[in-house]
Amino acid sequence: MSEASLAAAEGRRSGTETRLGLLCLAVLVVLLFLAPGLVNPGILFVIGMTLIQAVFALSWNLLFGFTGLASFGHAGFFAIGAYFTGAALRYDFHLPFLAVLAVAGLLGALVALAIGVVALKRLTGIFLAVLTVALTEAMAKIIGFSPALGEQDGLGNIPRPVIDLGLFRIDLTHGDDYYRFLVVATVLIVAALWWVVHSRLGRTFRAIREDADRARFVGIDVARYRVISFMISGGTAALAGALSAPLTRIVTLDQVNWLASTQPILNSLLGGFTSFWGPIVGSAAFSTINYFTRGFPGLSEIMVGGILVVVILVAPTGILGLLGKLRRRALGKGGRK
Amino acid sequence: MLKVERLDAFYGQSHILHGIDLSVDEGRRTTVLGRNGAGKSTLLKSITNSGPKVEGTVAIEGRPLGSRAWFRRAKDGVAFVPEDRRIFTHITVEENIELGRFGASAARPVVPAAQIYEWFPMLGPLRARLGGQLSGGQQQMLAVARAVAARPRLLLLDEPTEGLAPVIVEDLAKIVARICDELGITLLLVEQNIWFGRQTTDRVYVLDTGSVVFSGSWAEFDRDETIRNRHLALA
């Protein structure tokens, strides 16, 4: 078979797979939207938190999986969004809720810009990772001593918002309504990130991840694009935090600690950091494991370590990488028949 | 176009290049020959500021480059294809070529993809394939295609024939010569393959143990048997 016909066959198979994938996604979104009528409030809360963790993990993986930078303190960005939104709703900043979300994302992006401009020109690899941890720990200390942010007790009694669009109002004060809003917001954020990753900008990020020197040779200002990636990542993480505050109705220091920063890492590695969808699959898998082991208190830290060990040893490219390998093996066998 | 004066290059304590003087006029094409370890690749890396510590002057159009960052040099119209090809293996052929836009500018607009596939017909059917799925020859073609997509004014090629089948080397020589003609590119080629250099360039330098031991036309090179026997160890 010639190169041209091989490429055409690859294209046809890839087109079919894309259509199938889109169909599965559409079914998933419809099921998520109908979930309040299908499951109890406890499970609905778990699904809502999974959606937030999925956005959080996607934000981290834009940095790691698509730009080749590691942040070990990403919870700092999440906390910026969560605390800002919590404070905005609790103390009534007189801002429409959609504006609160936008400002939260912008704050995360601006903090990422500040870190990026100072650090990303010189720091990559382990140095950047450690710096982000240090900044997040510093943020936790500052929050811990801020009475307006609830100090060690956290910021509680956060009211759920009402979106006033002039002609009509969308009341999100009921848990089911806020959950549906969360589904819509998650779909929009995931779509936006998908577009980023598959746009020219995303290809530039991937080129930098693969080889920064190579990228410089073709004329890419590597430091500038790393900062842009860091800003999008930080802004998205803050947006995830912002969406979480009205769901949980309390924001605590637990969301700024080391374990919170490992969650998006773990979800991305578990699902597969080389795939755009990996962090979402990882978040869903981790939430499922967490839900079924909830009867064993104190198990979460052991699970974090255990899952990391299993992923690294058995499936370094995560669940999606493992499925892809099995699929290729099956196709290979089919082809030999 | 390119002027290198009294260039010394060091890797740590090792003094690799010794007072190199080299110039390539606008639109001309030059080969640098030399045995393994003669300092050919170090010369290109010194020009591109991508490795050794350098003393001396590298100037393009009379403007010394100093420590100008490499991505800015690419935007100035200098394209470099290193010896290990350096294509992006996790993005497609089409996307690799499209990255050439980063080296382009308003004065030097990016070469349309259709023109690239006309120059490199073997890449057309592979445009949706990942760079890492290409053969060595295809990868080399892609590396050169990406470099010329930015319509560079100066093209630096580091041993492009290394590890390629003879038939691919012949194709590559024709393609490189044609593109340089059509775009008026100034070429500095580092090679061990004399045939390839002769097909694509009109002037030759010979390096030995980090120093220039010959410079002249190919006709002068052919007349100087000492150079070939002593400094290139040709049979």
Count of other CB atoms within 10 angstroms of residue A274: 17
pLDDT at residue A289, as a whole number? 83
pLDDT at residue A337, as a whole number? 41
C-beta of residue A171 within 8 angstroms of C-beta of residue A162? yes
pLDDT at residue B173, as a whole number? 93
Contacts (Cβ under 8 Å, ≥6 apart) of B78: B48, B60, B152, B153, B154, B156
A1 and chain B in contact, CB less than 8 A:
no
CB contact (8 A) between residue B70 and residue A207? no
Which residues, numbered 9 to 28 in chain A, qualify as contacts with chain B under a Cβ-Cβ cut-off of 8 Å?
Answer: 10-11
- The span from the CA of A262 to the CA of A327, in Å, is 30
CB contact (8 A) between residue A204 and residue B99? yes
- The span from the CA of B164 to the CA of B176, in Å, is 15
Q: Do β-strands B53-60 and B63-64 pair in parallel, antiparallel, or remain unpaired?
A: antiparallel
Q: Tens digits of per-residue pLDDT, A218-261?
A: 889 999 999 999 999 999 999 999 999 999 999 999 888 888 89
Which residues, numbered 212 to 271 in chain A, qualify as contacts with chain B under a Cβ-Cβ cut-off of 8 Å?
Answer: 213-222
C-beta of residue A111 within 8 angstroms of C-beta of residue A83? no
CB contact (8 A) between residue B95 and residue A203? yes
- The span from the CA of A117 to the CA of A227, in Å, is 7
- Does residue A335 register a pLDDT over 60? no
- The span from the CA of B36 to the CA of B162, in Å, is 12
State both tokens at B195: 């045939």
Which residues in chain A touch residue B158, judged by CB atoms under 8 angstroms apart? none
Site from B95, B133, B139, B148 to mutate, A interface, most A CB atoms within 10 angstroms: B95
CB contact (8 A) between residue B90 and residue A214? no
- The minimal CB distance from A210 to the residues B88, B100, B146 is found for B88
pLDDT at residue A105, as a whole number? 97
Sheet of B2-11: strands edge to edge?
Answer: B14-24, B2-11, B53-60, B63-64
- The minimal CB distance from B128 to the residues A10, A200, A216 is found for A10
- The span from the CA of A57 to the CA of A271, in Å, is 10
- The minimal CB distance from B126 to the residues A7, A206, A211 is found for A7
CB contact (8 A) between residue A203 and residue B99? yes
B121 and chain A in contact, CB less than 8 A:
no
CB contact (8 A) between residue B70 and residue A7? no
CB contact (8 A) between residue B69 and residue A213? no
- Does residue A13 register a pLDDT over 70? no
- Does residue A67 register a pLDDT over 70? yes
Segment A40-64 shows an average pLDDT of 95
Lowest mean pLDDT among A77-86, A134-143, A191-200, A301-310: A301-310
Which residues in chain A touch residue B100, judged by CB atoms under 8 angstroms apart? 218
CB contact (8 A) between residue A207 and residue B82? no
CB contact (8 A) between residue B126 and residue A211? no
- Does residue B60 register a pLDDT over 50? yes
pLDDT at residue A302, as a whole number? 78
Domain extents in chain A:
3-331
Angle at B169 (CA atoms; ends B142, B109), nearest 5 degrees = 35
Which residues in chain A touch residue B74, judged by CB atoms under 8 angstroms apart? 216-219
B113 and chain A in contact, CB less than 8 A:
no
ipTM exceeds 0.85: no
Count of other CB atoms within 10 angstroms of residue B226: 9
- The span from the CA of A82 to the CA of B8, in Å, is 56
- Residue percentage of chain A with pLDDT more than 90: 50
Which residues, numbered 90 to 149 in chain A, qualify as contacts with chain B under a Cβ-Cβ cut-off of 8 Å?
Answer: none
- Does residue A299 register a pLDDT over 80? no
Average pLDDT, chain B: 88
Q: Tens digits of per-residue pLDDT, B180-233?
A: 999 999 999 999 888 999 999 999 999 888 888 888 898 888 888 787 777 676
pLDDT at residue A88, as a whole number? 95
Smallest Cα distance from A7 to chain B, Å: 7
Domain boundaries A3-331, corresponding CATH code? 1.10.3470
- The span from the CA of A293 to the CA of B206, in Å, is 71
- Does residue A61 register a pLDDT over 90? yes
pLDDT at residue B53, as a whole number? 86
Segment A294-313 shows an average pLDDT of 74
C-beta of residue A240 within 8 angstroms of C-beta of residue A81? yes
- The span from the CA of B78 to the CA of A215, in Å, is 14
CB contact (8 A) between residue A218 and residue B74? yes
- The minimal CB distance from A210 to the residues B48, B89, B102 is found for B89
- Regarding pTM above 0.80, the answer is yes
- Residue percentage of chain B with pLDDT more than 70: 97
pLDDT at residue A238, as a whole number? 97
Average pLDDT, chain A: 87
Q: Tens digits of per-residue pLDDT, A28-39?
A: 999 999 999 999
- Does residue B8 register a pLDDT over 60? yes
Confidence of residue A2 (pLDDT cuts 50, 70, 90): low
Smallest Cα distance from A63 to chain B, Å: 16
Angle at A312 (CA atoms; ends A308, A316), nearest 5 degrees = 125
A198 and chain B in contact, CB less than 8 A:
no
Confidence of residue A123 (pLDDT cuts 50, 70, 90): low
B67 and chain A in contact, CB less than 8 A:
no
